[in-house]
Chains A and B, each alone.
Chain A
């Protein structure tokens, strides 16, 4: 009989210190996340040095909690997996070095994992993958369309040429004096507003699956400025609704086209912005008449966590990938 795989995941790429233990890549045994969001709020964004300071203070506490919750023996653990990149280098370094120490102390295999592979594999806790699979990854740092023909193989068919969608949300939120992080606030305002301002949609050249949000961002800023100069008062709800409509339309259309071109059996949404209600609703509608299975993870698996790293790491482990003791943090790691 095939033995069960128990994989440890460690994630410290941004402002969450997280450790999880996952069984066979699909079952969460424990999943502990220590968020620093309160500490960064006063700065209006994540400060890398502060994030790194928190990670080094939290890491063994979070490890201990994850192992206590899992109540698992070390003999059962097959490998230690960790986010190798992309992310904030100083933050990544805490996870990577802690993972190396853990793997060395217990003499277990060590495997570096791509953060986005993690976001994609968070969906596998919900449903088994069907290939070809198309993943729309949207978060504070990423906007990407990723094609998977089999487990563990990723082909980026489209990505942002400037700002990530989440970044655009944060910047517009700041313009509207909304607290950090701005995404959820815009989403909430948008649901009470009307799409009465026509903001541009960046389709880019024909057939491209790339994204661009900097033009939209500038357009929002200019519109607010011009209205102010004319003494007009725009409703924040309407700005939010109109901005969100532009983002959601581009994301939804491009995802739909790519799904058709690559004959995707499954489309999954991954990353923090996958929590956005407007986006979820638009995608559900767009794919409702197709036989493509659309998978949107529950909110708690959209944000950064370590279970997703362990899930992606399980495939890497089963495919025989191993990292050496010289594993380093790689803030610009490519998904491949």
Chain B
């Protein structure tokens, strides 16, 4: 089964081609460049290199966020349309879950996160259990300070994974002390082959209904809801 995995949800651009669990090829960059320009050329060159035609694809897996709203949508628009046109299943995987796979060999809690500005992070808590990456706490958009307090209260070791680790290293160590595990930089980037692996055994999404995992309302909508509430209370 040929699986194409696409991740444009954060700064990393990742494309992987797998035959079941076997990696055929993988393309990863960690550059501040335009995903919209570079995604399809990357897919095209990888598939040409592997001598696989589009109609030989059996499944599309896509990182559905959280992350950059625009980046997530570039990935989803591409993956959904590929799946629809080729009439193959599509699976959306949380970008946090994909990153957690970098902690696959650890038995501790895994905390993947992405910076969401103003001290906020998109994050969740995962742990490898009985052959799968299990979500231990629901993903959320939360102040890092509050989140770390919740984690510290568990009194268990936590493996932190994030491309934005440098922004929060100090506050993590301050709050978590000896319970902190932070690996070297290459472990903080999501791998598209992990995305494919995560999507391999997941049930397919409905192509039409697959939507981004924003973890946050659009600002205009949040403001509008707030105003409605105030009007109702006043």
Contacts and interface: CB of A to CB of B under 8 A. Distances in A.
To the question of whether A and B form a pair in one complex, the answer is: yes
Interface of A: 42-43, 47, 49-50, 52-53, 55-57, 59-61, 63-64, 90, 93-94, 96-98, 100-102, 104-107, 324-326, 328-329
Contacts of A101: 40, 77-82, 85
8 contacts: A49-B219, A52-B69, A59-B77, A94-B77, A105-B55, A105-B82, A107-B54, A325-B41
Nearest to A59: B77
B81 to A, nearest CB: 4
A326 B70 contact: no
Given A97-B39, A104-B40, A60 B81 contact: yes
Interface residues of chain B: helix, strand, loop or mixed (majority): helix
A325 to B, nearest CB: 4
A56 B211 contact: yes
A55 B212 CA distance: 12
B74 interface: yes
A56 B85 contact: no
A158 to B, nearest CB: 32
- The interface centre, meaning the residue of A43, A49, A61, A102 with most chain B CB atoms within 10 A of its CB, is A49
Nearest to B219: A49
B40 A326 contact: yes
Interface stretch (B30-38, B143-151, B156-164, B166-174): B30-38
A94 B53 CA distance: 24
Given A93-B74, A98-B77, A329-B36, A105 B85 contact: yes
Contact of A49 (B40, B44, B218, B224): B218
A105 B218 contact: no
A106 B81 CA distance: 11
Most chain A CB neighbours (cut-off 10 Å) among B77, B207, B208, B219: B77
Interface string B183-212: 000000000000000000000000110011
Contacts of A49: 69, 218-220
Given A93-B70, A101-B78, A326 B37 contact: yes
Contacts of B220: 43, 47, 49-50
A329 B219 CA distance: 23
B208 A56 contact: no
B218 A59 contact: no
B59 interface: no
B218 A104 contact: no
A55 B41 CA distance: 23
B129 interface: no
Contacts of B55: 105
B11 to A, nearest CB: 17
Contacts of B73: 52-53, 55-56, 90, 93-94, 97
A208 B101 CA distance: 63
Contacts of A106: 54, 85
